[in-house]
Amino acid sequence: MSTSTSTPSRQWDAAQGVWVGSRALADEADEIPDPLYIFGYGSLMFRPQESFAACERVDGVVEGWRRVWAQRSCDHRGEPHMPGLVVTVLSDAELEAMDLRQATDPPSLVHGVAYHIPDEQVAHVLDELDFREKGGYTRAVVEVLPTHSNGSTSTGNNGGSIKALLYTANAENPNFHHPTTLEEAAHIVAWSRGPSGENKEYLFEVDAYLRRVGAECEETFLLTRRVKEVLEKGLDRRGSLDARHQQILVGTAKGEGEGKGEPARGSRAVWQQLRLLAWGSNQHGQLGKRQVHGAVQTQEDGEWPCPSPTSVELDVAGTVSFQGGSLATALVDHHLTIRQLAAGGGHSAIVTDEDRLYLWGWNEKGQVGGGKHTILDGTRRVHVFPRRVAMVALGHAHTLVLEKDTGKVYGIGANAAEEATGSSSCSSTCRAIGGVPVTLSGAFGGGKEQLRFSWCAAGVRHSAGVTQDGRLVTWGSNKYGEGLPVSVRSWAPGDGGRVVKVCCGWQHTVVLDDRGRVWTMGANKYGQLGWGWKEEMRREDEVAGLPRQVQWPSAVEEGGEGRWVEDVACGWSHVLAKTRDGQVWGWGRNTFGQLAQESRNTAIAAAAAGNLFPRRLLPLPGCLPHGARVREIACGTESSALVGDDGSVWACGWNEHGNLGVGDKKDRGVWTRVLGFPTREEEGAARMLVACGGAHVLAVMERVGLQTEEK
């Protein structure tokens, strides 16, 4: 009663445990039932994705298939270094070939739920599911027999049965693993967790559904009972795992050649304890763990402010390669390179050189991933984003992820102004696993378009990106002109320049082009646009609402290195820029001293202090107070930071939560050195990365040695 599609060939991304391209195996020639029903036999039974919310739901059974716990999960209920175990369905023919049933046995049955997908949602739903099932799955078409009718259920298209599409992971996919013992399966499920939550919760929900509909599934019921026993007895997570389930990315469990008289070689996934320096607010665990050594809990708001840099640890995964030597030696010599460090309103992130993104901290809107309450709990736990990542941008309560290779940007978190996804597809919040691709309503011809990006930025309620052909696009709030007009699809300088970077403040946007020029748009109450006046520009001519070039003081040579900007950063209402000659410039709000000026500006004092135009923030071009040159610039909400080429960090501005790292919570109107950093980097040493968030700061060396524990 079933027909299966042919299995297209696809390369496997062993490091992530998914198909290359992060899509389920599918082919344009695949049969798509019309009307389309999707049959779910796992999490779709109890936690359907948002696009299924209004779909007709039919409980049913598929004959000739069986549910088995035989699929590693590296992207939902586990991680690449510690995969979980979830269900797949196998046909009776496959089960017989694996000696899991006899040909004379009665046909197998799989109970589940069929969802009727409206025609206008078919393409969107298939795109979502192809990404969701990237961890080894392919499509198949089956006949579903409804088990009951609620008065609104369709009678199907074939004598009462419903032709439906399901996703199956057969024995040929690289993640297939059917544990030989109940003990092995139970310990995997008991202790694994991933971006979608704990593996045991998945098992318990599947079990509950099957019991509710009166289905028989002995494997599920036995596994549930044994997992509960394991949890009650508190059996050790590590010692109980079967060696075959320690995820080996390349080679065999011992490494190629090991045990054969040959030099061992291969790669292994390992736990790594990454040590960061963090300071400021830790109300949401954004510093890396709930309690930090030396911190004092306040009585007012339950925060754990930390006014000085404090060492915290995070558990991350890495791949250790060894060639012609022991794995133990390779572990000692292993280093992890941090590509990017990021901080948002109350959440934090790192991107490693293995294209892995780790998120932790405030998750009320789903900006970290998973459920609302899956936050750090003192175990150094972080959420692993299930995509290969080029960069990440953290806004106040949303997250943008630029996917490597594809150039797509995915959004999660707050979406009330469509700041996460560019559309209302996720209502006011987006908690979709892997995020939702940013799609912008086309200004020409209608419809929606997925763009390819080279950069992205997230503000409070708006976002922006740079396309691969060097153009600016924006989405989210545009109340103050911080976004492009609806009639303008994208923007680039009219003289052929290309946009290379964009930053988002609270209500303004800052753009850098490949000719070292800075352009701005949006709110201008504090002169943060750098145009020489405070009023928002509301002209009615052809350039109304478009970015306008920042006006430099006349004393700065036109076209010289002192006006060629290499990097920009912005806070809520102020901007920093670093020019080729090493000088740091700033403009905009200075209420808390964030522009390193002792005289705090009111609306009137702002003009007198010259903050409406770019102003030099260092006495000598590029030189910090102790003589080192500036390497990096960064902005918090109302604070600023500079990183020297000697590894020193300097800060000024708002310090209510100790976020300047200077040992107290007093604001600073001059550059003040952050405590606890080295005085001079060694020749060739890795650079210091610093990220400033809402009221917290993170710092780490770009290339770090790790305390590594083999898994």
**Residues known to be catalytic:** 133
Written as one string, the DSSP assignment of 231-266 is HHHT--TTTTS-GGGS-EEES-TT-BTTTTTS--EE
Contacts of 600 (CB under 8 A, 6+ apart): 590, 591, 592, 593, 669
Helix (H, G, I), strand (E, B) or coil at 704: strand
- For tokens 């020297």, the residue is 644
CA pair distance 442, 584, nearest whole angstrom: 38
The Cα–Cα gap between 577 and 697 comes to: 20
CB contact set of 365 (below 8 Å; sequence gap of 6+)? 397, 398, 413, 414, 415, 429
Q: What are the beta bridge partners of residue 563?
A: none
Q: Counting every residue, how long is the chain?
A: 711
Q: Which of 463, 290, 447 is nearest to 367 (CA)?
A: 463
CA nearest to 389, candidates 400, 404, 408: 404
Please give the Cα distance from 497 to 488 (Å, whole number): 17
Longest dimension (CA), the chain: 92
Please return the burial class of 670, using the count of CB atoms within 10 Å of its CB with bins 0-12, 13-18 and 19+: exposed
The alpha carbon of 390 is separated from its chain's Cα centroid by a whole number of angstroms, namely 10
Closest CA to 207 of 374, 87, 92: 87
- The set of residues, in sequence order, having a beta carbon less than 8 Å from that of 533 and lying 6+ positions away, is 524, 527, 612
Residues 475, 418: contact at Cβ < 8 Å?
yes
Q: How far apart are the first and last CA of the chain?
A: 43
- 39 - beta bridge partners? 114
* Closest listed residue to residue 570, CA positions, set 644, 482, 496: 482
Cis peptide before 35 (omega within 30 of 0): yes
Residue indicated by tokens 């359907």: 48
* Close Cβ partners of 101 (under 8 Å, ≥ 6 residues apart): 66, 92, 95, 108
Amino acid 432 reads A
Residue 326 structure tokens: 């022991």
The DSSP call for residue 107 is P
